[in-house]
Amino acid sequence: MSVKLSREKINYLSRVIMESIFENDKVEFLEEPNEIRLSIVKSIENELKLYELLEKNAIKKIESQKKAIKEGSREWEILFRKYYKDEISKLGKSF
């Protein structure tokens, strides 16, 4: 269920975000555009790493069940969504 983005896709997203920000006349830039773009790239990468960690935590919870649950089964998918949602809510984020 991981969301994997290539470096190219992350760079593309950062450029789209930058274009959107530049279109807003109310935004004043205190840094160079490339520095802002690099900060956006880093933020996207950090967010992806966080969600990957949450996914791993949800899988660990499934694996810690007394009853073995086969990955890919309906029960596994239900538990994964539940535990993943629980992990996200611990951060105060919505799913």
Task: Report CA-CA distances (Å) from 90 to 18, 72, 74.
Answer: 30, 25, 24
**Cα–Cα distance between 38 and 43 in angstroms, integer?**
9
- pLDDT tens-digit map of 20-77: 998 988 988 899 999 999 999 999 999 999 999 999 999 999 999 999 999 999 999 9
pTM, to two decimals: 0.77
Contact 13, 44 (CB under 8 A): yes
CB atoms within 10 A of CB 7: 9
Q: Which two tokens stand for residue 78?
A: 């239900």
